Structure 1
Amino acid sequence: MFDFSGKRVLVTGAASGIGEAAARALAEAGAAHLVLVDLDESRLAAMDLPCETSRHAGDVADEALWNAIEEECGALDAAFLNAGIAGSPAPFAKMSLGDWRAVMSVNLDGLFLSLRTAMRLANDGATMVVTASVAGVKAEPTTGPYGASKAGAIHMAKIAAKEGFARGIRVNAIAPGGVDTAIWDGVPFFDDLVAKHQGDRAGALAEMARGMTPMGRFATAEEIAGQVMFLLSEASGTITGSTLVTDGGYSL
C-alpha cells in the first residue's frame, strides 16, 4: 500500500510493540535502511528484517547515544520517534520527584534528543511521526507524568512542523488509546485481571477494552503501525502539525 523504496528511516523504541510493528512494515514497504534504536539490546539484535539496518542500543535520554548516531547515520528520509515509558500510576499527592523525572527523562528529554537528531539529519521533504498518547489529550487521575509528557510531545510535534516548513519537512503526532502490547504485562491490575481469567491474557485484555473503549476493543500494534505509515507517506502530503487520535472513541 505504501512505498518506501530507497528510504532511510529512523525508528526509536524499535524492538517491541508499535515500534517493532512499524519497523517491520517499513521494511516490507521497501525501506532501504532502517536505523533502529532501543534500550533492549538483545531484542534489538534478534530482529530479522529484509533490509539493511544499523542498530543502536541505549537510553534515548543519553546525549552521547545521539551524538554517535549523528556521526554514523547519514541523511534521513523519515523518522518514527516512538520510544517512551508509562511509569507507575499515582496521584500527584503521592508521587515522588524521582518517579516524575524518570518518565520525563525518557518521554521528553529522549524525545527532544531524538527529534533534534532527526531534524539535523533530515533531507528536504522528510517526514516524521512522534508517538504521543490519548493521555496527552484527555485528563485522567494518576496519569500525571505520562499525560503531561505526552501533551508535551504533541506540542513538540507542532513546533517542529513549523520549523520544518522551509525545507518541506512534515511532522505529525499519533495519539493511541489502548493498544495490545507488552506495556500491560506486569501492571498489577492487569495481572490480577489475567489471573481472574485463569491465565487467558486475550480474555483479560478484551474485558478491559470493553470497559474502557466505546468500540469495545483495543488496537493491535500492527494497526497503529499502519496509521504511522500513512502519516510518513506521500498519502498524507498536506498533513503536518496534526495529531491523529486513534483511541476507539475513548476521548469522546
Structure 2
Amino acid sequence: MPEVQPTAPFAERSILVTGAASGIGAASVYWLSRRGARRFVLVDRDEPGLAALAATLDPACETSLFAGDVADPQLWDEAASACTAGLDHAVLNAGIADAAMITDLDFAQWRRVLASNLDGMVLSLQCALRTMRDGGSIVLTASASGFKAEPGTAAYGASKAGVLQLAKVAAKEAAARNIRVNAIAPGGVDTAIWDGVPMFEDLVREHGSREAALAVMANMATPLGRFARAEEIAAQIGFLLGDEAATITGANLVSDGGYSL
C-alpha cells in the first residue's frame, strides 16, 4: 500500500487516469496517491488489473473503475457520471503499440491503433475538460515516435503526432478557464506495451529474456543507454500536473534519454 508523504500537494484531489491498470498509468496512480489524492476515476481495458490496483490503494481512496475501450463513446457516457463532482486533474495515458512497414500495414491494423491512441484520446479529453474544475490540469501521454520517424512506426507515430497537436489545441481552448494541458513524450519505457510487438518478441527470442531485449534496444537507440522506468515518467507527469508547473501549458516534455537527438 503506497504510504502518503507528510507533504501532500495533491491532498483531496480528484483525478482521472486512463490506461490505469499497468505501466505509466498505474505508476501515476501510486505517485499521486502517495501525495494525497483521494478520489480516482480509473479506466482500462484490463478489468482484473483495475481491481488489483484499487485493492492496493489506501482505504481512504475512493475509486470508480471503468473497464472498456477508451475509443468507445458509451464507456465515456458511463465514466462521465463518476466525474460530475468535478475533476482536478487527468492523466490521459491509454494507448497501444504496433509495428509494420507501410507497404505491409493492414488497414484494419492502422484503424485499430488510431482508434485507441487518437480517437480514444479525444473522447478522454472531452470527458476531462467537460467535468474539470477551473484551474485544473491535464497531461496526455504522447511519444517520441510522434516527432521522430522510424521504419515500421507509421500507425503508432501518426497517432502520437496527433496527440501532440491535440494537447496544444486543448491548451489554447482551456486557457480561459485556467486549465493547463501538456503532453509528455517518453522514448523507451519498460512497460507491457512492448509485449506482443513482433519486433520485440524477436529480440526476446534472440537474447533470451525480456530484460536483455530491453537492454539491447536501449543501448542501440538511447545515448544514455537505458530506458525509463514507469515510476520516473509518473513523477514527471506529476510535476506537469502540479502547482510548480503553474505557467506551463501547451508544452511537450520530451523524456527519451536522448533518443531524439
1:6 and 2:6 matched: no
CA contact (8 A) 1:2 1:229 kept: no
1:49 and 2:60 matched: no
Matching residue of 2:90: 79
Matching residue of 2:191: 181
Q: CA deviation at 1:187?
A: 2.7
**So what's the TM-score if we normalise by structure 2?**
0.93
Q: CA deviation at 1:165?
A: 1.0
Q: Deviations over 1:149-192 (max 9, x none)?
A: 10000010000000111110000000000001112223333333
Amino acid at match of 1:81: L
Counterpart-to-counterpart distance in 2, 1:97 and 1:195: 28
Q: CA deviation at 1:2?
A: 6.3
**So what's the TM-score if we normalise by structure 1?**
0.96
Alpha carbons of 1:2 and 1:153: their partners in 2 closer, same or farther (altered >3 Å)?
farther
Q: CA deviation at 1:52?
A: 1.5
Matching residue of 2:74: 64
Matching residue of 1:112: 122
Note the residue ranges of structure 2 that are not aligned, 5 or more in a row. Answer: 1-6
1:218 and 2:227 matched: yes
Counterpart-to-counterpart distance in 2, 1:95 and 1:111: 22
Matching residue of 1:245: 254
Q: Deviations over 1:106-141 (max 9, x none)?
A: 111100100000000010000000000000011111
Q: CA deviation at 1:202?
A: 2.1
RMSD: 1.3
Matching residue of 1:22: 28
Counterpart-to-counterpart distance in 2, 1:239 and 1:177: 21
Count, aligned residues: 250
2:165 to 155, 163, 174: 155
1:141 and 2:147 matched: no
Counterpart-to-counterpart distance in 2, 1:77 and 1:29: 14
Note the residue ranges of structure 1 that are not aligned, 5 or more in a row. Answer: none
Counterpart-to-counterpart distance in 1, 2:227 and 2:234: 14
